Amino acid sequence: MIDFTGLLDYAYEQRLYDSDYHGLEHWHQVEFNGMLLASKTGADITVVRLFALFHDCRRMDDAYDAEHGPRAVEFIDRCIAEKRLELDAERLEKLRKACSLHTKERQTGDITIDTCFDADRLDLGRVGIYPMEEKMATDAGKKIAHKLAQAEVSVFKQREWIRNFRF
Domain boundaries, the chain: 4-163
pTM of the model: 0.96
Taking a C-beta distance cutoff of 8 angstroms, is the pair 12, 76 a contact? no
Q: What is the dihedral of CA 1, 118, 120, 2, to 10 degrees?
A: 0
Query: Which pLDDT tens digits describe the chain residue by residue (167 residues)?
Result: 899 999 999 999 998 888 888 889 999 999 999 999 999 999 999 999 999 999 999 987 888 888 899 999 999 999 999 999 999 999 999 999 999 999 999 999 999 999 999 999 999 999 999 999 999 999 999 999 999 999 999 999 999 999 999 99
Neighbours of 117 (CB within 10 A): 27
Identify the three-state secondary structure at position 132. coil
The pLDDT value recorded for residue 21 is 84
Whole-number Å distance between alpha carbons of 4 and 144: 27
Classify domain 4-163 at the CATH class level.
mainly alpha
Whole-number Å distance between alpha carbons of 166 and 4: 26
**Torsion 32-155-142-22 (CA) sign:** negative
The pLDDT value recorded for residue 66 is 87
